[in-house]
Structure 1
Amino acid sequence: MMKQKMAVIGLGHMGRQMIHRLLPQYTEKIEVVAICDSDESSLHREAAEAGIRPRLYTDYRQLLDEVTLDLVYIAVPPSLHYDVARIAFEKGIHVFCEKPLANSLTEARSLVELAEESNVLHAVHFSLPLDPAVLKLQGLLEDQAIGRIQSMDLYLEFPQWPRAWQQNPWITSRQQGGYLLEVGIHWIQMIQQVFGPITHVKSEIEFPPDSNQSESRVQAVLRLHHDIEIRLSGTDQREGEERVSLVVHGEEGTLALENWRDLYRSGKDTDLQPVSADDVVSPLPILKQIIQILNGESGLIYDFYDGYNAQVVLEALRKPGEGFTDVRPQLMGDKTEGFIVTT
């Protein structure tokens, strides 16, 4: 079997995770033939630490022009997603892109159109819906473990933004950063997959006096297609540890997914108790699914349509109108599940 030839563009936190943690698991099926970052010293350091010898570039345009590729992983800041993906599609290269899909809704829609025209694989690195705790939560909901859902609460609360391990020049910028864009997009997309389309958004958002800085406080309501409402609370001034959680209130009890992966359940008259997800088999990581698809097998990915639909809700949160905004006219299709494809 021929190895798939892959390039990694961007060596921030996610790019480093890819070359140091994910790709070493699949060395028999995929080969990193090129990496790119604007910091030349970072290129040499990361390649040496990973024990790989790819071609090194500081210009992604030059890389995409000179290197024969099957797949490119895009892990640059959001403002560059569009241009990198556009060039890759023009060259018939499969694209695996970090979230958010693009830096604006216009760019995101254009990327969906380019992806469809190119007839290659296009995937966004959304993994939360396939996490064992989320799959367990979904199974409990399907079994009516807490009865009919009445409402939900989504907490995106941080003692500071950015977090200590997340320092870079753009993570706090109003254009490309903020916790809604970096963290909230994961939960928006997961909610769309597990609970169905978000159709209406009402948001109150506060920004610091500095017009370049990202949001400080958010209070919002997301309304699902069956009128269930999700109350969103966001802040960068939380006292104590950060809280990134979804709490689902039902007629017969509550399910709480706390800090990404800790699942709890309560009944009407009982306190929250931990729920193990050890019995759940997850198809993660997404990279494995992509490799399967490129090798002619079936696989589960979230494509650029999913990325676009999540960005519709994200932009409605970040740029609110008066009262509820009906986002249904902007949504593409009626996709509520991951995309299973074969090439």
Structure 2
Amino acid sequence: MNTIQKMAVIGLGHMGKHMIHRLLPQFKGQIELSAICDSHEERLRREAAEIADSPRLYTDYRQLLNETELDMVYIAVPPSLHENVAKIAFEKGLHVFCEKPLANSLEEARVMTALAERSGKIHAVHFSLPLDPAVLKMKALLKERAIGAIAGMNLFLEFPQWPRAWQHNAWITSRQQGGYLLEVGIHWIQMIQQVFGPITHVQSQVTFPEDASQCESLVRAVLRLEDGTDIQLSGTDRREGDERVSLVIHGEEGRIALENWRDLQLGGPAEAEMQPVPLDDVSSPLPMLKQFLQCIQGEPGVIFNFHDGYNAQVILEALRHPGEGWVDVRDQLLGYSSAEM
């Protein structure tokens, strides 16, 4: 019989609030919300008042982790704090479910991955896009060769403004730990790695505002897959009209477009030829919290662990900090091996 897992949620921004108000209520009798933490006491008490549980309240995650009996922790603080929280959590023998990106730098991601692997505990990054019904259907269409051999791809990360209207965290516009590459691009980087294989080379040009504290404004980049396929990346915070967050796959016999996360389309090379693809026949294992819980309980589950998070961070940092021309990242990827190296 499965025991109830005691959980703490650290960070009550958009994702932390989603966890306590939307996800955890689906796991009554399986997960107990034992404690929540946010550095803003007013927000902490406001969010606590809106939930049925009576968790312990903290403004200091260190105090929470030292005083509360837990089995697992959900990390939803800004990226620069991920390493600190995870380190203490693993030292306490806890399972760790971390928001993306894994860390705020490649070095931090490397340290966190080593800590996770030594801990013997379940560790996962909250990447859900590869298990979304639209992506699962996209994979099936590609396996069926619905558009023939893949010739190339386009990834659009285009916003009329950044941050978006519903994003209110000050750090989300900072060059240190914000920007749409970090917040949004990481989802697509990780999904591409899962669906299409390793990204081995990156060529990136990034334009920043004059204010040295502010995140990227314009990005033009190419991500090259191990098989030589190129993905042209277009990023901007000055798009005219609605935002576009999409992947378009060009095949020898047609196109597949995953528009704005979940609108899957299939058709010929022209825009007018694209038709929506129904997803009624797709069964998804989401939410990721369900999969994480199953792994903790010793049951089969699909999660993306810190190893996956690190490999996504390799590409993210290559995009955010361009080198001269093509940057070969193969020697940085964990578990990568190639006869050509």
The TM-score normalised by the length of structure 1 is: 0.96
Contact 2:330 2:336 (8 Å CA) reproduced: no
Q: Find out whether 1:280 has 2:314 as its counterpart.
A: no
How many Å apart are 1:268 and its aligned residue?
5.6
Question: Residue 62 of structure 1 aligns with which residue?
Answer: 63
Question: Residue 214 of structure 2 aligns with which residue?
Answer: 213
**1:91-240 mapped onto 2 (5 Å cutoff):** 91-240=92-241
Structure 1 residues without counterparts, runs of 5 or longer? 336-343
Contact 2:314 2:329 (8 Å CA) reproduced: yes
Q: Distance in 2 between matches of 1:14 and 1:268?
A: 37
Letter in 2 for 1:78: P
Q: Distance in 1 between matches of 2:300 and 2:266?
A: 34
How many Å apart are 1:115 and its aligned residue?
0.5
Q: Distance in 1 between matches of 2:244 and 2:10?
A: 31
- Give the superposed CA RMSD: 1.1
How many Å apart are 1:334 and its aligned residue?
4.1
Q: Which SS does the other structure have where 2:200 is aligned?
A: strand
Contact 2:157 2:236 (8 Å CA) reproduced: yes
Q: Distance in 2 between matches of 1:178 and 1:52?
A: 34
How many Å apart are 1:267 and its aligned residue?
3.1
Q: Distance in 1 between matches of 2:306 and 2:92?
A: 18
Stretch moving more, 261-270 or 25-34: 261-270
Structure 2 residues without counterparts, runs of 5 or longer? none
Q: Which SS does the other structure have where 1:223 is aligned?
A: strand
Question: Residue 309 of structure 2 aligns with which residue?
Answer: 307
Letter in 1 for 2:299: E
Deviations 1:25-78 (A, max 9, x none): 001100000000001121211111122200000000000001111100000000
Question: Residue 296 of structure 2 aligns with which residue?
Answer: 294
Deviations 1:173-220 (A, max 9, x none): 000100000000000000000000000000010000000000000000
Q: Which SS does the other structure have where 1:279 is aligned?
A: coil
Q: Which SS does the other structure have where 1:238 is aligned?
A: coil
Q: Distance in 1 between matches of 2:263 and 2:269?
A: 20
Question: Residue 90 of structure 1 aligns with which residue?
Answer: 91
Q: Distance in 1 between matches of 2:117 and 2:183?
A: 26
Q: Distance in 1 between matches of 2:285 and 2:336?
A: 23
Letter in 1 for 2:326: F
Letter in 2 for 1:262: D
Letter in 2 for 1:101: L
Deviations 1:106-146 (A, max 9, x none): 00000010001111011000000000000000000001000
Q: Which SS does the other structure have where 2:170 is aligned?
A: coil
Deviations 1:294-313 (A, max 9, x none): 12211000000110000000
Q: Distance in 2 between matches of 1:199 and 1:254?
A: 24
Question: Residue 333 of structure 1 aligns with which residue?
Answer: 335
How many Å apart are 1:167 and its aligned residue?
1.3
Question: Residue 341 of structure 1 aligns with which residue?
Answer: none
Q: Which SS does the other structure have where 1:170 is aligned?
A: helix
Work out the number of aligned pairs and report it: 335
Contact 2:207 2:219 (8 Å CA) reproduced: yes
Q: Distance in 1 between matches of 2:159 and 2:3?
A: 45
